Structure formats: C-alpha cells, structure tokens
Structure 1
Amino acid sequence: MPSYRNDPRWITAKWPGKDREGAEYKKGDRVFYYPLTKTIVAGEAAEKAAAEFASDRADEEFTGG
C-alpha cells in the first residue's frame, strides 16, 4: 500500500502541548499528526483516528481508488 508525504502518521512529540481536542500530551508521547493541517491528536482519540485512517486506506486500496 503506497504511502504519501501528507498522510497522517504517528510521531513522538518533541514538546508538551494540547491536541486539537484540548487533550494534553507530554514531550515523548506518541501522537497522531496530520501534516496538511499541522494538527495533533493524542490519547484515545489518536488511536481512533489512526484506526479510521488505516480503514479508509484499506478500503481505497480494495476498491482501486
């Protein structure tokens, strides 16, 4: 399955902060990053977002889109 430069991906936070939903994360936490919007999702929301992205990607590959 091809991967593209602007695909959302897991990264390690270099600084502490708050994600787009207001959840706090610490430096070194694993967060889900969206490069196009430069937003971060942390915690359980990140797990859900990553699963949704993987599912959408698999559906797209299956349908040939």
Structure 2
Amino acid sequence: MKKGIHPDYKEITVVLSDGTEMTTRSTMDVSDGIYKSEVDSKNHPFYNKNQKITQKAGRIDRFNKRYAKK
C-alpha cells in the first residue's frame, strides 16, 4: 500500500437499534468511536416482510380515495 493516500482505519463499536453491540474496523469518522444504527435487519421492512403489507395498504388507500362515495 502507498503511504499517505489511505484514510485512517480504526476500531469502532456499532450499536444496533435493539441494543446489540459489535466491534469492527472502519474508516467512518465517529468522534467517540460509537456508531448508532437506526435501521437494521430486525426492524427494516425489506427483511421482515412488512414491505408487502405497506404496499398493499397504499394501494387500498388510493382505491378508496378514487372511488369513495361522495
């Protein structure tokens, strides 16, 4: 590796939304060495299959708006 062209690579602690902590190495610039994640595989709709439900709810709402009795 060439000297002086790469960012600092240091240990950080990643705290997931459920409180789980893990230590990894990263070039991320966090002042206290802790990165707090708001979204992870336990609460993101893509991973827990809630995405289909929200899509269906949106389509139902559009249908009700369009064809609601006035």
Fold match, TM over 0.5? no
Larger Rg: 2
Scaled to the shorter chain, the TM-score interval is: 0.3 to 0.5
